[in-house]
Amino acid sequence: MRPANDAPYRLIRDVEFGDGVVVYSFTNLYGCVIGDRTQVGTFVEIQRGARIGASCKVQSHAFICDGVTIGDRVFVGHGAMFVNDKTPRAALGNGELLSDADWELLATVVGDDASIGTGAVILGGVTIGAGARIGAGAVVTRDVPAGATVAGVPARRLAARPGAPDADLLTSTGRGAPPGR
Q: Where are the domains of the chain?
A: 10-88+99-172
Architecture category of domain 10-88+99-172 in CATH: 3 Solenoid (2.160)
What percent of the chain is helix, strand and coil (3-state, nearest 5)?
A: 5, 30, 65
Under a CB-based contact definition with an 8 Å cutoff, are residues 128 and 146 in contact?
no
Per-residue pLDDT of the chain (181 residues; tens, 9 = 90+): 788 888 888 899 999 999 999 999 999 999 999 999 999 999 999 999 999 999 999 999 999 999 999 999 999 999 999 999 988 888 988 999 988 888 899 999 999 999 999 999 999 999 999 999 999 999 999 999 999 999 999 999 997 666 655 554 444 334 443 333 3
Question: Pick the catalytic residue: 78, 103, 106, 127?
Answer: 78
Q: Where do the DSSP E strands lie in 9-137?
A: 10-13, 16-17, 22-23, 27-30, 33-34, 39-40, 45-46, 51-52, 57-58, 63-64, 68-70, 75-76, 81-82, 108-110, 115-116, 121-122, 127-128, 133-134
Our answer to whether residue 61 is catalytic in this structure is: no
